[in-house]
Structure 1
Amino acid sequence: MRLSRCSRTVVRQSCVLWSGVVLIAAAALYGAVTAADLLWYASAARPATALADPPRVQKLFWLGLLLSAAAVAAAWVALLVLKAGTPQQRLVRESSLATQWLWGLPMTYMLLVYYPLPLHAHHTEKALLASIALLTWSLLALMRPHALSSLKRIRLSAAGRILLINALVFIVAGELTLRTMDSTLASQGFFGGKQTPAHLKPHMAVLGSIGRSNSQGFRDRERAVERSPIRFRALAVGDSQTYGAGVTYDETFSALLESRLRETEPTAEVLNLGVPGWEPPEELHLLQVYGMQFQPDVVLMNFYVGNDIIRRRGAYWEQPIVVAGQSYYVHATGNRIHDLLSPDRWFLYHHVNYVIRLGSLSFNRWRRTSVQEADHGITLRTRQGYLQELDERTDIYLADEPEEIRLQWDKTRQILAGFKRAVEERGATLILVLVPDHVQVDRRLREEFLAARAETPGRFDFELPQRRLKQWGQAQGVTTVDLLPAFRDATLEAPLYFETDLHLTVAGHRCVTNGLWSLLHTLSVGKAQAVAGSLVPDSCRPVWPKTP
């Protein structure tokens, strides 16, 4: 019996020792391979346009050095663990298999999931944190193993283990439970609706007559899906320009259009489905899974020329996943471990975030937050900072465009074709509305931009995007409204954009309204069908219908 116990002890100690060696050696191998990959990638980096989002070579270089140092230190520790009688070997022998893998697996998960290549900004930050932790442990194990041994015996270490175990149990149990209950939660509309495709907060304070956003978070009144009493309905789909950042609800062009249309058709509706920060691929998903259920007669695809072609947020690398009836966009990197197991694929992650959002609303109500405290959605910045922002997104105007721009144009046409199919399959009319960029309209801003960039005007063609989009509309039979001429005519009367922000002012929203009203009025009263082609409003002055 004593021999059997002794044998089990020897086997257990041997397993603990070799398990520790394997984990430390694996960390050293990871550090060496990753450092070599990063340093090669950084050395091969070349100048690129803003669209390409060139890597922050300095940060990658330091990350490579950190991982190289961690690899050397961890390999040295592994060799010392194999040497009998060393403090490093005693450090490993004093641990247990459970403790080794309890800490080893989360660290392995973080290192593999947030591997920084292909490059992604927040991945680099998390990889830096994980690399610093790995290097710190390796250096302590190499130079101060006694300190690590004593650290394991204090209460704080035991509390850390208990906390980690509870967190892992909560994550696993919560994820399994929520995945099992997902269909039930979606069918019951537990999170605000059976399909809530945007990340907006419901019932948030909104400046204007509605007071609060609707139950889906859109900056609009509550709308019924049924069409029975409504003779004309239009959907306004777009980003923060459509949402109305910087103006009140009643000053947005969707609200102004609805108000004017109701003077001749009292039941007319113009639904505002603008989502700040979204791009055409996400807006197409919004239209397909949510917008078309309202059975619109017309869909206004409000295309902001300033940033709907250059998509630096990487919408084409993002795919929507539906959790409890809500759509969430999660990015992909090509790293299969990340694309399958990262936290933004967890149902638990999205549920917790949603509960936090709802909790913040309850907290604001408890504080009796007034509508007057609602955010205008405009960021304060200097004129110089605004010029720098323009420099990051104006490659679309280069007469001799880079290859990246041509690729983005191909993707843009594909998405617009998707809009056309989605709308026409339901018997509605698609209108492509070209909202001009600030730099296209404001001559003074354009001159400042060219001076700051030290460029000659001949390198840029500031009307190129509109010409291409109108050509696409004519070829595809899609009505296209080009607002650029009307904006240029009206900009001398009142500023159409904020001085250091790309968003439309009240005058800008009125200009969009006047540019669209005549066409929508014609459709609403049934006088004619929209004629495919390019429409250029004469001015931003209102055109009222003639009295019958």
Structure 2
Amino acid sequence: MQKLKLKAFSKILGQTALIALITFVMSEITLRIYNKINPSFVFYDSSYNRFRGKPNAPDYDFKLNSQGFKDVEFTVEKPAGTYRILGIGDSFAYGVVPYQYNYLTLLEENLNQSGQKTEVINMGIPGMGPRDYLSILVNEGLKLNPDKVMVFFYIGNDFLDNSLTANLRTEEKSYVIALIKSLIKIQSNYKGKVLNPTSVKYNDNQPTFNNQKYLQDTVNKSNMFVRNPADSIFKSFVEDAVQDLLKIKQICDSQKLPLTVVIIPDEVQVNSQLQQQVKQVFDPKNENLLDFELPNRMLTEQLQQANIDYLDLLPYFKASSQQTRLYKPNDTHWNIAGNRLAAELITQHLTSKNNQP
């Protein structure tokens, strides 16, 4: 009798396990199909909030909006007759300059002068990388019903950000587990940071770091410019970053949203004096060791293959840097002149024959 009961229990247990497995697999398939059609924040990490601005916090003489973005307040519902552009990027999009000089602020002003009522929403958060760009698009961008998405890719660290901050991200392979966790956590809350308090006055000519530290930081990230490196680790960084851009493209295509990637050069790529200093550290006897345009070629080749519209600012900034300083001293970010030039170039690109709103 005891053996019969044990056998019956084992049979029930096996059937229950089988049903649970089938349910799990079917749920996994259903959630993946649903997310393909209608992307949801549930399956995308929100760790980008770690560097987000504090809602309504001061930023020089400006005040961040209630979402912690360096922009004026905007409504989720798009105003009638408005062409809405999402600007997604890192500290370059957030900017070290005051709000009125930020290139996305100037871009919106430029586009509105063309007659089409345009709203450029600055969703820049310092410290973000390509995977974060994907996450913030799904978590917060799509619900704003944009007409266009722009991703601003900074050569200086966006290839490296995914690997450097991987331990801060939680990426579930299982959509079911991700859903369960999201139901428990709902979504990451954030208190935000005050990055530029009113007590700080912006000075366009004030160096942020001393010469030695800035040069060392530049040297540390210049391995990406080495021609024919012995290992291919940087190539893997490029592929990793491009995969996130491809996912963004897929989502934009599914929502019928045009996408443009703007490639932001690092200062060492446009500053010949800084280039010579970096070359001296790497190998003073080998002038051809570093190719400061190599990462851009690698990236644009991938973007072309994926049919992603892009604007590479490098040649324009390289030419203009001969006469005008475009970066804040020892800072890596654009100064007021750099932001102005970027806004002009992006405006030209968007209002060209193939990119008109």
Q: Do both share a fold (TM > 0.5)?
A: yes
2:86 aligned counterpart, secondary structure: strand
Distance in 1, Cα, partners of 2:239 & 2:218: 22
Corresponding residue of 2:214: 386
Pick one of 486, 499, 507 that aligns with 2:329: 499
Q: Give the distance between the partners of 1:196 and 1:306, measured in 2 at CA.
A: 21
- Using the TM superposition, give the Cα deviation of residue 448 of structure 1 relative to its aligned residue in structure 2, in angstroms: 1.0
Instruction: Tell me, yes or no, if structure 1 residue 399 matches structure 2 residue 227.
Output: yes
The alpha carbon displacement at 1:319 in A equals 2.5
Structure-1 separation of matches of 2:147 and 2:308: 14
Deviation at 1:268, TM superposition (A): 0.6
Who is 2:281 aligned against?
452
Q: 1:291 to 1:197 in 2, by over 3 A?
A: farther
Q: Distance in 2 between matches of 1:318 and 1:414?
A: 19
Deviations 1:76-135 (A, max 9, x none): xxxxxxxxxxxxxxxxxxxxxxxxxxxxxxxxxxxxxxxxxxxxxxxxxxxxxxxxxxxx
- 1:410 paired with 2:260, answer no
SS at match of 1:221: coil
8 Å contact 2:94–2:124 — kept in the other structure? yes
CA contact (8 A) 1:281 1:315 kept: no
Structure 1 portions without partners, runs of 5+:
1-194, 322-331, 333-345, 362-368, 523-527, 532-548
The number of aligned residues is 292
CA contact (8 A) 1:214 1:220 kept: yes
Separation in structure 2 between the aligned mates of residue 414 and residue 233 of structure 1, nearest angstrom: 26
**Does the C-alpha gap of structure 1 residues 448 and 490 become closer, same or farther in structure 2, counting only changes over 3 Å?**
same
1:276 to 123, 126, 131: 126
Secondary structure at the counterpart of residue 216 of structure 1: coil
Summarize the Cα distance change of 1:217–1:370 in structure 2 as closer, same or farther, 3 Å threshold: closer
Closer, same or farther: CA 308–196 of 1 in aligned 2, 3 Å: closer
CA gap of 1:196–1:452, structure 2 versus 1, over 3 A, is closer
Deviation at 1:316, TM superposition (A): 3.4
Cα distance, 1:376–1:428 mapped onto 2, change above 3 Å: farther
User: What is the deviation of 1:263?
Assistant: 1.3
The aligned residue for residue 303 of structure 2 is 473
Aligned twin of 1:517: 347
The SS at the match of 1:277 is: coil
Corresponding residue for 2:59?
206
Identity %: 27
**3-state DSSP of counterpart to 1:457:** coil
* 2:254 aligned to which of 409, 421, 425: 425
Counterpart residue type for residue 482 of structure 1: D
How many angstroms apart in 1 are the aligned matches of 2:283 and 2:69?
Answer: 42
In the alignment, what sits opposite 1:371?
Answer: 198
Q: Is the 8 A contact 1:303 1:434 kept in 2?
A: yes
Describe the SS at the equivalent of 1:302: strand
The alignment's TM-score, normalised by the length of structure 2, stands at 0.74
Q: In 1, Cα distance between the equivalents of 2:58 and 2:149? A: 27
8 Å CA contact retained: 1:432, 1:479: yes
Q: Distance in 2 between matches of 1:452 and 1:236?
A: 36
Q: What does 1:55-204 correspond to in 2, within 5 Å? A: 198=49, 199-204=52-57
Distance 1:196 1:439, change over 3 A: closer
* Aligned 8 A contact 1:233 1:268 in 2: yes
Q: Tell me whether 1:300 sits opposite 2:150 in the alignment.
A: yes
Secondary structure of the residue aligned to 2:169 is strand
- Please tell me whether Structure 1 or Structure 2 has the larger radius of gyration of its CA atoms: 1
* Deviation, structure 1 residue 466: 1.2
Unaligned runs of 5+ in 2: 1-45, 173-183
Q: Contact conserved, 2:156 with 2:221, CA < 8 A, in 1?
A: yes
- Rounded to whole Å, the distance in 1 between the matches of 2:257 and 2:197 is 39
Partner of residue 288 from structure 1, selected from 138, 149, 167: 138
Residue 529 of structure 1: CA displacement?
A: 4.1
SS at match of 1:274: coil
Give the whole-Å Cα distance in 1 for the aligned partners of 2:120 and 2:158. Answer: 22
Shift of 1:509: 0.7
C-alpha spacing 1:409/1:298, structure 2 compared with 1 (3 Å): same
Structure 2 counterpart of 1:8 = none
Which deviations, in whole Å up to 9, do the C-alpha atoms of 1:326-372 show, x marking residues without a partner? xxxxxx9xxxxxxxxxxxxx97xx77x73xx6xx98xxxxxxx9835
Aligned to 2:34: none
Q: Contact 1:299–1:429 at 8 Å: present in 2 too?
A: yes
Q: What amino acid is the match of 2:344?
A: N
2:70 pairs, out of 210, 219, 233, with: 219
TM-score, normalised relative to structure 1 = 0.49
Q: Quick one: structure 1 residues 499 and 432, their matched pair in 2 at CA, closer, same or farther if it must change by over 3 Å? A: same
1:488 matched to 2:318? The reply is yes
Secondary structure, counterpart of 1:235 in structure 2 = strand
Q: How does 1:333-344 map to 2 (within 5 A)?
A: none
Do structure 1's residue 462 and structure 2's residue 313 form an aligned pair? no
3-state SS of the aligned residue for 1:222? coil
Partner of 1:19: none
Question: Structure 2 CA distance, aligned partners of 1:234 and 1:299?
Answer: 6
Could you say which residue in structure 1 is the equivalent of 2:268?
Answer: 439
3-state SS, counterpart of residue 115 of structure 2: coil
RMSD of aligned Cα (Å): 2.9
Q: 1:422 to 1:316 in 2, by over 3 A?
A: farther
Q: What SS does the aligned partner of 2:288 have? A: helix
1:429 is aligned with what amino acid?
Answer: P
After TM superposition, give the deviation of residue 266 of structure 1 in Å.
5.4
